[in-house]
Amino acid sequence: MCGRVDIHTPPAQLARALEAQLAAGVDPEGRPSWNVGPARALPALIATDEHTRTLDLFRWGLVPHWAKNPKTGYKLINARAETAASNVYKQALRHRRCLVVVDGFYEWAVPDSAPKTKFPFYFKRSDDQPITFAGLWEVWFDKARGDEPKPENYLQTCVIMTTVAGPDMEGIHHRMPVIIESADRERWLDPSIEDPLEVSDLLKPSGAGTLVRHPVTTEVNSTRNDGPQLIAPDLEVDADVFLVPGAAGNRD
């Protein structure tokens, strides 16, 4: 699963890099964080109409429109690509696809030799460009505060899609977030595509060399810790150990 990300690039800079406009109300400078967990705000690119792409903020953890309260989102931070078209995510997959934009993400390896020890690794694109994850989004209205959909009583939320791990995850984890490459972003966001089968080929593992990784400090284990030091390589960990097939446990 993907449960922790790094978003330190300002929203305005991300919007420029993705040739999108910044949504009204989004701070252009944002609040940089190298340790973002569920229930925090994620920048995501959406199609606001046929020709316009907008970068807005969405709380991490999908809350379906029919949910009784927003706590539902705490459990829905990742959507399996293999089953999304037939469960709680199916309507969003048809009508509300997005691209969650991050600088990098973390995953924890559990070697067979030390099954009670978790080693955090940081992943980023090998070309240093922003990562665009396949995501889905929803709007939830708090009917307890009135039936009228005013800004103060609705919540924008999102979920990150995952698939089986590609070669860059070898030795770390058996799954990974779905990364949409720049050439495929428009098709993923295209609001005229409502059949999930027409974008299903994009929900695949990334090719070898898309990502680079290195071990990092266990300080990242707690979201109370933050700062650029969290993504610095931990030179005391032998990263080569995790290149051995089967070094990581088969965890969700």
Residue 190 is assigned to a structural domain of this protein: yes
Q: Is residue 176 part of a domain?
A: yes
CATH number of the domain to which 26 belongs: 3.90.1680.10
Q: Would you say residue 171 lies in a domain?
A: yes
Query: Would residue 20 count as lying in a domain?
Result: yes
- Residue 248 included in any domain: no
Task: Look at the chain and report how many structural domains it folds into.
Answer: 1
Strand 104-109: give its sheet, edge to edge.
Answer: 33-36, 5-7, 104-109, 119-125, 211-215
| Residue linked to tokens 């199609």 | 47
* Residue 77 covered by a domain: yes
Tens digits of pLDDT across the chain (252 residues): 799 999 999 999 999 999 999 999 999 999 999 999 999 999 999 999 888 999 999 999 999 988 988 888 889 999 999 999 989 999 999 999 999 999 999 999 987 766 678 899 999 999 999 999 999 999 998 776 666 656 667 899 999 999 999 999 998 999 999 999 999 999 999 999 999 999 999 999 999 999 999 999 999 999 999 999 999 999 888 777 676 554 454 444
For residue 16, what are the domain limits?
5-105+125-210
Report how far residue 167's alpha carbon sits from residue 152's, in angstroms, rounded to the nearest whole number.
Answer: 44
* Residue 32 belongs to some domain of the structure: yes
Domain-located, residue 131: yes
